[in-house]
Structure 1
Amino acid sequence: MKTYLNYLAMLGLAATLLACTKDLQEYNPAGSTAQSLFTTPEGIEAGVNGIYTYNRYFYGKEEGHGLMEMGTDIWTNAANNNSSGTNGIFPQLSLTTYQGLTTDNVWVKTRMWQQCYAAVNLANNVMKYLPASGINAARQKELEGETRFLRAWYYYHLVESFGPIPLRLEPTESIETTATRASVDAVYDQILQDLQAAVTAIPTTTTEYGRITRPAAEAFLAKVYLTRGKNQEASNYAKKVITAYSYKLLPTYASLWTFTNQLNTEILWAVNYSTNLAFNAGSNISHTLYLMEYNTQPGMKRDVANGFPNVRYMPTLFLLNLFNEQNDSRYYASFKAAWRANETDATKRPAGINVGDTAILTTKYPVTAAFRQSKKYKIYDVNDMYKADGTPNDRFHYVSLQKFDDPTRATDATTESARDAYILRLGEVYLLAAEAQLNLGKKDSAAYYLNEIRTRAAVPGRQANMRIAAADVTLDFILDERARELAGEQVRWFDLKRTNKLVERVKKYNPDAAPNIQPFHAVRPIPQSEIDAVTNKGEFKQNDGY
């Protein structure tokens, strides 16, 4: 298996459109070729499994969060968000504020363009060699369905990120020095063709958690149809996923994020991270990205329970104010406002504070001087954290996202987590259905789906306060609801793009990014190395604005 996977990685890298000025002298000590690998049932099975692994370079990784959550209306820079880069380029900062977002952005290149095309190329290899692999007809149909789904999945990420892109349906098996960009319509036609084939071939259930199933594929198909403005089709598939299978919303929102409850009735598809961290392509580090610097505060030290604070991303004031936590349990299920003293050395704790007492309070409300003076613990109120216009005032200390916490890490210095990364879940399908129904002019039906989500999220006894009327449903309300439900789950950038709200809402709600964002930022720049590599530069052009 190791030999197979090493060769699969080599095949995947051939997908990038690289040209060479010198002959590439390759040495292949194992003598492996695509023909020798993919003409066996074991090779094909390994190939299909290998296509899944590219999600591990993106979901649960800092680069994936930077590409999908930052530069939106709900997240902005924390203090350490410009601490890494290549050749003077800071990928985190440029993606969050759009300032300096260039064709050399390393995350756009390596984590979106290269990894997605590597996955596509591996899928194309599987599709080419599958018919002659010796796999029985029934299994061959299933594997073709999986492969088509995964190819569509990665092409969706590419076309939404870059607009017109090279559309490759055959494996890259030699050096190619020219490239053409297929239209967005052509790419989506292929995505829909692959998905329609997939949903008739993929089994309804699986014994291997993390493998795609028919309801998960149908949920993604609903999202693709919604993106293409085919609202009735989107609604039909979303409704089927909600009603035709055994998936159910969990009774409480908080239980979604309980570490021991990850395999539950709401998760349609997840990147399954192993407890053996060596298998995880770096493991899931989501838990580190949204935490404030709590460990330098009096009475606090870094520990496993409170997490490893990378201090990368902080919520916009707009995101915090979307929640009415008196009615909506998702605020305290998602965010950590209070930190309890864990410093056992009494000389390092404020006077009168014992281990387990509140050491820090972060609040989105202003507190009076008298209230502050009456407490022994440190307080960061809204005016400490944000200026009047919402620009962060303190990028080290803020209300922190806790959804991705992992209390099972080996040590307080361990950044890697075995937590799975949810990428399709039933709660989002309800929101897709609501958006499709709104677009069809059926606000009453849209309100029904929204109320299912909102009632589940209600503080006990406050269900009536969470319910909305049909007249309340607007596209902005649905986007607000998606923020409350899905904050941090690596969908926000695509949400704002799909609804044509990216520029409008960033300008309105994210003062860090507002001065820089322009309409052309609705797509990312084609990596400059790809532009430089092709010989037909007159045809293969950069996206406008970059």
Structure 2
Amino acid sequence: MKKLIVAILILGTTLNSCSDFIEEDNRSYGSAEQYFLTAAGFESLINTNYATLKDIYGGDPWLFEAGTDMYSEGRNQEPEGLAKYLTLSSSSAGVDQLYRTCYIAIQQANKGLYYSTLTEKSSTLDNRIGELKFLRANAYFLLVQTYGGVPIVLENINTAVTAFDRNTAEEVYTQIFKDLNEALPAVSTAAYNGRVNKRAVQDLLAKVYLTRGYETFGTPADFTTAASLADQVIGGQALAVSFDNVVKPGNEMNAETIFSVQFSAASNATGTTALGSSQNYWFSSYLGAAAAGNPYPNRSYTLCPTVYALSLYEKGDKRWEGTFMNEIYSRYYDYYDVADKAALKITDFYEPKWFTTADRGAWILDNTSRMVNPAKFRYHNWGTYSSSAASGGDYNLIPVRKFDDPKAPYSGATSANYNTTPITPATNRSSTRDFIISRLGETYLTAAEAYFKAGQSGTALARLNEVRRRAGGGVAGTIPVLTSIDINTILDERGRELLGEYHRWFDLKRTGTLVERTVLYNPKVTTTNAFAGKAGNLKVLRPIPQSALDLNRSKNYPQNPAY
């Protein structure tokens, strides 16, 4: 097998510390090769591996969320090809994001595994080897879902290699399983503390088995295994943390977090708008005067929830107010910074789907005294603030608050200058919050889907309804449990629970519903012709980036069929 490493993916890579738990040691200690042979040096190398997750998940979200049923383009333009498919090609903007970042992560893991055989022994060495194999498997899992078969590279390479062959998707899955099954007995069994542990490996294994089950080379046993693994991750743990606390800023290390990318103000210190996460930036409209004070609640007005996404929520579903800021105060972040909100004035209210005319009148009557000024207060009727109506001014879209970061240092953006000098997408990585990759609510939904595909609808319903019970808050008048289940029921529930959490494109691609549901619910993709590719193939896989093809001298690396 020929090797893949393109120079732009390896050379000049500089990474930053992962978290308060995982910090790199950048002391000078002779050459890097000498340093990695010491226990301290090898530990620093492992921590650099964790830092690669920051660029995989911390940057642009297009390959995770654009062009789906949940989000469509707002006032700012998304990459045309990824958002609307018609012009999608190997040269389209954003197509290479996961290709670049995942192969950087793979190369770092290969380096760590190489030095693991040479470095001095320590009590944590086996744990760290397992962590490296998990991180490499995670990168390959993102690649194979996005691009199909890709080159498998397992060697530590120090020079650029420009000739490489393409492995099949089936071969990539085999390698992912090998890495994860070797990681499982090696990693720590302790509670999650920022490093990969046994539960994180089991959770990823469940997702990989579930996803492979849909492939032509998958088997029914994949779904049964996925269900069993998901239940092992759950381990009898109820969804006891309220949804509001699951998404609460600063509470990312709660009891339901399984694996996350760890950010912090300290690790962002040398690049306050470039080294953090951008998840808080993408899913809302501009907020104008509500940004008074510091920090500024910067929003891109780009990935906007569709009517479908907003209409998923029912009366009594705690996730509505946990996901969206349906009331905006004169200063947006007073929601987090002021304990007693009774005296705070509100500028905007976004009416939920279930409001009747009577509900509207009653709300206005009850809240007139809270309005900043009745003449300036804005009441947004249901149906007026989805992505379909997002081409107007500030506040035209309900803000997504579940990723808010009141501590994000938005340097250069204030209420006085934002409309003329906004932070650009190239410098929007300001959030200091951890980026949660896996959490228990999603694991329950993984189990539900796996049991459903394994033909055990009763157990599937039980897992899904546990998520709904937590969402209803366990009080009278909560959302009802479901009595039947199909793939659309599961996708609807995943939409409610996981809005904006960088799963949606993979969910639709995995379940074979990408074309159908995007055309049905995304107002910017209205016909299946948008997905039409070469020779009758659909643009479901993303194309291999042109930058990789241009640097490749091998003849055994075909482009995906639709391109």
- In structure 1, the partner of 2:4 is none
Q: Residue deviations 1:56-105, cap 9 Å, x none? A: 113243x1x222011111011121235xxxxxxxx3x4322224333223
Does 2:209 match 1:225? yes
2:227 to 235, 242, 253: 235
Q: Distance in 2 between matches of 1:358 and 1:504?
A: 40
Q: Are the structure 2 counterparts of residues 135 and 531 from structure 1 closer, same or farther at C-alpha, using a change threshold of 3 Å?
A: same
Displacement of 1:292 after TM fit?
1.4
Q: Are the structure 2 counterparts of residues 226 and 186 from structure 1 closer, same or farther at C-alpha, using a change threshold of 3 Å?
A: same
Q: Distance in 2 between matches of 1:303 and 1:504?
A: 44
Partner-residue secondary structure (3-state), 1:146: helix
Contact 1:386–1:393 (CA under 8 A) maintained in structure 2 = no
Displacement of 1:294 after TM fit?
2.3
Q: Residue deviations 1:227-263, cap 9 Å, x none? A: 111011111111111116xx65233111112223222
Q: Distance in 2 between matches of 1:161 and 1:193?
A: 20
Contact 1:268–1:424 (CA under 8 A) maintained in structure 2 = yes
Q: Distance in 2 between matches of 1:31 and 1:386?
A: 55
1:449 to 436, 443, 463: 463
Q: Distance in 1 between matches of 2:364 and 2:445?
A: 44
* AA at the equivalent of 1:153: N
- In structure 1, the partner of 2:241 is 251
Q: How many residues were matched structurally?
A: 490
Partner-residue secondary structure (3-state), 2:384: helix
1:509 to 514, 521, 524: 521
Contact 1:363–1:381 (CA under 8 A) maintained in structure 2 = yes
2:10 to 9, 13, 17: 13
Map 1:9-408; keep pairs closer than 5 Å: 13-14=10-11, 35-61=33-59, 63=60, 65-82=61-78, 91=79, 93-109=80-96, 111-136=97-122, 138-205=123-190, 209-229=193-213, 230-243=222-235, 248-276=238-266, 277-278=268-269, 282-295=275-288, 300-304=290-294, 307-324=297-314, 326-342=315-331, 356-363=344-351, 365=353, 376=375, 377-385=377-385, 394=392, 397-408=396-407
Contact 1:291–1:312 (CA under 8 A) maintained in structure 2 = yes
* AA at the equivalent of 1:480: D
Q: Are the structure 2 counterparts of residues 530 and 60 from structure 1 closer, same or farther at C-alpha, using a change threshold of 3 Å?
A: closer
* AA at the equivalent of 2:550: D
Q: Which runs of 5+ in 1 are unaligned?
A: 1-9, 17-29, 83-90, 344-353
Partner-residue secondary structure (3-state), 1:359: strand
* AA at the equivalent of 1:258: K
Partner-residue secondary structure (3-state), 2:475: coil
- In structure 2, the partner of 1:524 is 542
Displacement of 1:196 after TM fit?
0.5
Q: Which runs of 5+ in 2 are unaligned?
A: 1-6, 14-27, 214-221, 333-341, 366-373, 415-427
- In structure 2, the partner of 1:349 is none
Contact 1:204–1:213 (CA under 8 A) maintained in structure 2 = yes
Q: Distance in 1 between matches of 2:304 and 2:134?
A: 34
2:447 to 411, 418, 433: 433
Contact 2:276–2:431 (CA under 8 A) maintained in structure 1 = yes
Partner-residue secondary structure (3-state), 1:379: strand
Displacement of 1:448 after TM fit?
0.8
Displacement of 1:118 after TM fit?
1.1
Q: Distance in 2 between matches of 1:123 and 1:11?
A: 17
- In structure 2, the partner of 1:350 is none
Contact 2:505–2:514 (CA under 8 A) maintained in structure 1 = yes
Partner-residue secondary structure (3-state), 1:488: coil
Displacement of 1:279 after TM fit?
6.4
Contact 2:199–2:233 (CA under 8 A) maintained in structure 1 = yes
Q: Are the structure 2 counterparts of residues 279 and 213 from structure 1 closer, same or farther at C-alpha, using a change threshold of 3 Å?
A: farther
Contact 1:339–1:360 (CA under 8 A) maintained in structure 2 = yes
Q: Percent identity?
A: 30
* AA at the equivalent of 1:541: P
Q: Distance in 2 between matches of 1:340 and 1:175?
A: 54
Q: Residue deviations 1:14-37, cap 9 Å, x none? A: 599xxxxxxxxxxxxx99766434
* Farther-moved stretch of structure 1 (158-167 vs 410-419): 410-419
- In structure 1, the partner of 2:553 is 535
* AA at the equivalent of 1:532: D
Q: Distance in 2 between matches of 1:355 and 1:301?
A: 19
Q: Distance in 2 between matches of 1:94 and 1:303?
A: 37
- In structure 1, the partner of 2:217 is none
* AA at the equivalent of 1:379: Y
Q: Distance in 2 between matches of 1:190 and 1:141?
A: 19
Contact 1:13–1:114 (CA under 8 A) maintained in structure 2 = no
Displacement of 1:483 after TM fit?
0.5
Displacement of 1:46 after TM fit?
1.8
- In structure 1, the partner of 2:475 is 461
Partner-residue secondary structure (3-state), 2:117: helix
Q: Residue deviations 1:320-346, cap 9 Å, x none? A: 11111x221101110122222349xxx
Q: Are the structure 2 counterparts of residues 60 and 118 from structure 1 closer, same or farther at C-alpha, using a change threshold of 3 Å?
A: closer
Q: Distance in 2 between matches of 1:130 and 1:318?
A: 49
Displacement of 1:494 after TM fit?
0.9
Partner-residue secondary structure (3-state), 1:403: coil
Partner-residue secondary structure (3-state), 2:82: helix
Q: Residue deviations 1:200-223, cap 9 Å, x none? A: 11011268x321111011111110
Q: Distance in 1 between matches of 2:296 and 2:111?
A: 45
- In structure 1, the partner of 2:20 is none
* AA at the equivalent of 2:486: T
Q: Distance in 1 between matches of 2:125 and 2:62?
A: 37
CA RMSD of aligned residues (A): 3.1
Q: Residue deviations 1:130-155, cap 9 Å, x none? A: 1121223x533212111111110101
Q: Distance in 1 between matches of 2:502 and 2:39?
A: 35
Q: Distance in 1 between matches of 2:262 and 2:73?
A: 28
Q: Distance in 2 between matches of 1:248 and 1:379?
A: 38
Partner-residue secondary structure (3-state), 2:57: coil
Contact 1:248–1:265 (CA under 8 A) maintained in structure 2 = no
Q: Are the structure 2 counterparts of residues 334 and 383 from structure 1 closer, same or farther at C-alpha, using a change threshold of 3 Å?
A: closer
Partner-residue secondary structure (3-state), 1:268: strand
Partner-residue secondary structure (3-state), 1:205: coil
Q: Distance in 1 between matches of 2:453 and 2:159?
A: 46
Contact 1:304–1:409 (CA under 8 A) maintained in structure 2 = no
